[in-house]
Structure 1
Amino acid sequence: MPVSDGVPGEDCLFCAIAAGERPAHVVLADDVAVAFLDTRPVFKGHVLVVPPVHVETLADLPTPMIGPFFERVRALSVAVERGLEAAGTFVAMNNRISQSVPHLHTHVVPRNRKDGLRGFFWPRTKYEDPAEAESYARRVREAL
């Protein structure tokens, strides 16, 4: 069955990435979270952190997973800063509204002063090629 955005379970894009069935520039993968580069990053090095099991929103995340999941988010926030020499990070999560894939995901976006990010307007950029994307993923992985 083809994988498509937006349908839970076996058709969920993020479930397929977490299962290794779809390619991604993975920076962390364990039984609590899978983190990979966003294919449409706000800034290069923008990471998405998802639970490896399908849950749509934060309210759906089982209580025992909340602490461990956010420990991974925190670790990725530090790794993005260190690995990419960013001045800080922007950490965000949408629940249903503006959630392009209905699978819980936390954005960890590298930030620098005067980087152009204003309020909730998120400009998007692209990696030049898969090698450039992999270089960003490697730097974050190494900083973990």
Structure 2
Amino acid sequence: MSSPDPECLFCRIVAGDIPSTAVYETGTTYAFRDINPQAATHVLVVPREHHEDSGTLAAEAPELLADVILSGVEVAKQEGIESSGYRLVFNTGPDAGRTVFHAHLHVLGGEQLGLFGRPH
């Protein structure tokens, strides 16, 4: 189990030190609305434990990674976007635009999303 990082934004959100708009939570995950939404529905799902990114999360706690993904699916159901479609996205590394070094899953949907990746 990874202990919280007092300098980590998402650890502080999970601890309740920084306000967030909770959407869904379990004993192992916490989901909240992104403050800079990139789609009509944009929710972040974070493990309550601190893991730097999805790769370290998968290596250190694969069952927790599964919990994060299952929570993302539950968020999609709760938000009413399960049947219309949604994306589950992990950004890893600078080229992906990751800015917070705590593994987190983006749940995006609620509208027609653009093409993924480079335009052809």
Normalising to structure 2: TM-score of the pair? 0.78
- 1:119 paired to 2:103: no
Corresponding residue of 1:89: 86
Alignment of structure 1 residues 105-144 onto 2, 5 Å? 105-113=104-112, 117-120=114-117
CA–CA distance in 2 between the matches of 1:71 and 1:50? 12
How much has 1:44 moved relative to structure 2? 3.1
One-letter identity of the residue aligned with 1:30: T
Matches within 5 A, 1:28-39: 28-39=24-35
Aligned counterparts of 1:42 and 1:32: Cα–Cα separation in 2:
25
Alignment gaps of 5+ in structure 2:
none
Aligned match of 2:17: 21
CA distance in 1, matches of 2:101, 2:5: 10
The verdict on how the C-alpha distance between 1:119 and 1:55 changes in structure 2, with shifts beyond 3 A counting, is same
Segments ≥4 residues shifted beyond 3 Å: none
Determine which structure has the larger strand proportion and give its number: 2
Give the alignment's TM-score, normalised by structure 1: 0.67
More helix by share: 1
Tell me whether 1:44 sits opposite 2:43 in the alignment: no
- Any unmatched runs of 5+ in structure 1? 1-7, 122-144
